[in-house]
């Protein structure tokens, strides 16, 4: 195990925006977790995503308990907050975690749809 893994925990798998789009229409779609602020979430998110800002995740992880047996794909704007969120979930016993490669920026630049709340 390298120093980085000792400090940050094991590297999480990543899924591309195109792969995620395909999985969202599958029989067992993953749970999407948007860990940006509520303002960022309202400005554009992947449809169906659960919004729990990363700094609230340790206190709100129980809200995801019903999804422990499903894959959870975590994203933020660029990756930093998603990494913090993943470590918090790992400490709470979640194991089926992955990161959206390129996060919401990649999702949008590849032309995939976003939902907005005003």
Q: Between residues 89 and 118, which one has the greater pLDDT?
A: 89
pTM equals 0.89
User: For the chain, what is the mean pLDDT?
Assistant: 89
Contact in structure between 42 and 116 (CB atoms under 8 Å) = yes
Torsion of CA 64, 65, 66, 70, to 10 degrees: 80
Any domain includes 57: yes
Domain with residue 31: its CATH number is 3.40.250.10
Strand partners, 57: none
User: What does the pLDDT read at residue 5?
Assistant: 47
Domain hosting 30: range is: 12-109
User: What does the pLDDT read at residue 118?
Assistant: 54
The helix (H) or strand (E) run that includes residue 69 is: none
Any domain includes 88: yes
Query: How many distinct structural domains can be found in the chain?
Result: 1
Helix (H/G/I), strand (E/B), else coil: 4: helix
User: What does the pLDDT read at residue 29?
Assistant: 95
pLDDT, tens digit, for every residue of 32-61? 999 999 999 999 999 999 999 999 998 999
Per-residue pLDDT for 91 more than 60?
yes
Any domain includes 50: yes
Any domain includes 56: yes
Indicate which residues carry an active-site annotation: 76
Any domain includes 117: no
Any domain includes 4: no
Any domain includes 27: yes
Any domain includes 3: no
């Amino acid at each position: 195990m390298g120093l980085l893994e000792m400090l940050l925990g094991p590297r999480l798998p990543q899924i591309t925006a195109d792969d995620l789009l395909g999985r969202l229409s599958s029989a067992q779609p993953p749970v999407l977790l948007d860990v940006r602020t509520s303002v960022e979430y309202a400005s554009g998110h992947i449809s169906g995503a659960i919004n729990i800002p990363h700094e609230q995740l340790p206190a709100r992880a129980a809200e995801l308990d019903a999804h422990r047996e499903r894959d959870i794909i975590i994203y933020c704007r660029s990756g930093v907050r998603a990494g913090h969120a993943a470590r918090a979930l790992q400490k709470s016993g979640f194991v089926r975690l992955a990161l959206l490669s390129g996060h919401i920026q990649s999702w949008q630049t590849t032309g995939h749809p976003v939902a907005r709340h005003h």
